[in-house]
Structure 1
Amino acid sequence: MTDAISSILSQIRAHELQTRGPLAEAPAGNAIDVGGAGRLGGGSTVAAPGFGHTLANAIDKVSQTQANAGSLQQAFELGDPRADLARVMVAMQQSQVAFRATVEVRNRLVQAYQDVMNMPI
């Protein structure tokens, strides 16, 4: 299950890089760039998307994947010749994996929240 989480994190990072554009400098690997996030050579700052924005985009992508799989399934059931069984099954599996990964990320976030809330002061 760790590989699945690593895969999702790499997809989120790739999506974040796409959102920033080609001129943004990304921190290397797992580094967190606190002070200079999104700085360009001229010293001006570019507003980098936050965690909430990135999470919302990832959830929207899962929703789009599920909608795509549903529309392919419906087209197959209606006899559309462009919707072959293999494409429908692959789309359904992609949708299922994306949803499971989203649920797993949610479970991890809830667990982290509970751990923080249970910390002694």
Structure 2
Amino acid sequence: MAYVYNRTEVIQSLRWKVGAVLPLEVQQKVNYSEEEYFKNHSAALESYMSQMEVDLTVDMVPPKDPYIKVRVLDDIGDVFLSDQSPNLARHSIHFLKRTDAELFISQGLMEELPS
């Protein structure tokens, strides 16, 4: 019983660490039931975050400032963000909401600069 409980905790923590899709190397190490459990847990978490209109996966510790300074590493172009529509050209520097920039940072398209 303890083994099953431990596995479920590991699978739940993977959602916070790797996102909604299991990496191939992890998929090869889980069985079908565990993979289904991950998908269902992920769907439940997404549903909750959608209903509450909050992204719990952005920061585990609340930031001191909701805005960060970022440098664009690859040309992204014109995008619509929550409070502005900047042209995110390569090597440009912007002061964006952390929640808007996190996705681009995680994809390697931006880097956070020290303030």
TM-score by length of 1: 0.27
TM-score by length of 2: 0.28
* Structure with a larger share of its residues in helix: 1
